[in-house]
Amino acid sequence: MNELFKRILDFYEDLERKKVFDTKIKDAMILGAQNQKEIVAHLGNLMELKTDRYKDAIDEWNKHST
């Protein structure tokens, strides 16, 4: 999975370099590296989130759209 992700990022960088379109992927990767600790902490918090304490918005919408 890591290799696939790396290849995707490389592909986007290549598209930028060839001026196919501006993805700003390089900027995103720099920001990601700079904020790695905060990102990991946030993902950890999301993994610990107790989803049984919340209602699914789609389920709630579907209750009223019959």
Q: Is 5 helix (H, G, I), strand (E, B) or coil?
A: helix
Query: How far apart are alpha carbons 40 and 48 in whole angstroms?
Result: 12
The pTM of the whole model exceeds 0.75: no
CB 5 within 8 A of CB 12: no
The string of pLDDT tens digits covering residues 22-63 is 888 889 889 999 999 999 999 999 898 887 877 888 888 888
Q: What is the pLDDT of residue 25?
A: 85
Q: Where are the domains of the chain?
A: 2-64
